[in-house]
Chains A and B, each alone.
Chain A
Amino acid sequence: MPTTWINPFVEFDPLDLAPVLWLDADDLSTITSSSNNVSQWNDKSGNGYHVSQSTGTAQPKTGTVTRNGRNVIDFDGTGDYLIRTTATGIGRNVTGMTVYIVAKHDSQTDNSTPIATSSGTSTASNRFFIYLSGSSPSATMTAQGRTLDSDSAQATTSSAGSFADVWTTQVVVYDYADTALYQYIDGTLNGSNTAFQTATTSSNTNSLRLTVGINHALATAALMDGQIAEILVYHSAHSATTRASVYEYFKQKWDV
């Protein structure tokens, strides 16, 4: 009887889990630029949630910084950000959401927001946003969000640490069904809020604004000074097993 060998090293493809948003700086075909200035970074999920910047002085850079030999998008901290002002279905009518960010903050003193999106009722209210605040070695990473547009935002904050000039994988799990919010830094739980919102699916409304490198209020204080390699957003609360697959994917690709 022939022996059937199963290849245990099946390569993970982010599309296997149907991301709602996928920004990949290593895929140069998704980046529109001129003289290294990025005017658009395309979403690879198939949803077309591209983010862009028409103002030249506010365009982040591509082709200037690498990580593990792969291109990353560089934000200067003084004006660079990308934005989508048309509505997206991110976070709409779901029981959970998982956000993965591979990024590095350059500054020892930094307040910056890699990604944010507004609720379905107001660009002034976040659906979720994730940010770094404070100064190393006492900086913290925080994730905020809300289940329903009418809810108050809830947050979880990491322990204080030195996040400057170090590549990190930040993962935030929004479990709306179990009213829980979890934050993982480099695979380790670092912040949780088990009283997150009410146990229900999120509002059945589109998100109104998507920003990368700044918060949804476009506060200049929240401009990112650093690099973003990849962002993945999924419409489910990922288990430890699923997260492990994504971590391995990031490890092989970005050496993080």
Chain B
Amino acid sequence: MFYSWQSLSLFDTWHANVKEMLGIPYPGRNARTGEIDEDAQWTDAYTNPVIVSQTDVRAFVEDEIAVRFPDGLGVPTSPPIAIDDD
């Protein structure tokens, strides 16, 4: 489900806490596959936020993460609408 934060800063605070608690990104591990890869570069996001507006920053959060890390979690919301570049 998607959640909305009132600022990117609030999202970053929540996101940083989740990453710290989960111990991610995992050093030396391919973020996409989870396999050990000593050449893997550091990733900087566990979930990518979409800035709908200055006060509406949305990101998809898996249910288990929302249950385990509600401190600072945003408000449930609909997915952001994708705008096609024609």
Question: Contacts A220-B1, A221-B1 given: A124-B67 contact, CB under 8 Å?
Answer: no
**Complex Cα distance A232/B59, Å?**
36
CB-contact partner of A129 in B61, B64, B66, B70, under 8 A: B70
Q: Which of B3, B61, B63, B67 has the most CB of A within 10 A?
A: B67
* Residues of A with C-beta under 8 A to B73: 124, 217, 219
Q: Is the CB of A222 within 8 A of B71?
A: no
CB-contact partner of B70 in A112, A134, A217, under 8 A: A217
Task: List residues 1-44 of chain B with CB under 8 A from any CB of chain A.
Answer: 1, 3
A216 interface hit (Cβ, 8 Å): yes
**Complex Cα distance A86/B42, Å?**
44
B52 interface hit (Cβ, 8 Å): no
Considering only CB atoms and an 8 Å cut-off, how many residues of chain A contact the other chain? 21
* Residues of B with C-beta under 8 A to A129: 70
Identify the B interface with A (CB < 8 A): 1, 3, 61, 63-64, 66-68, 70-73, 75-76
A-B contact pairs, 25 of them (CB 8 A): A111-B66, A124-B71, A124-B72, A125-B71, A126-B71, A131-B68, A133-B64, A133-B67, A134-B64, A142-B68, A153-B71, A217-B71, A217-B73, A218-B76, A219-B3, A219-B66, A219-B73, A220-B66, A221-B1, A221-B61, A221-B63, A221-B66, A221-B67, A222-B66, A222-B70
Known pairs A133-B67, A142-B68, A217-B71; list 6 more (Cβ under 8 Å): A113-B70, A126-B70, A131-B68, A153-B71, A217-B72, A219-B76
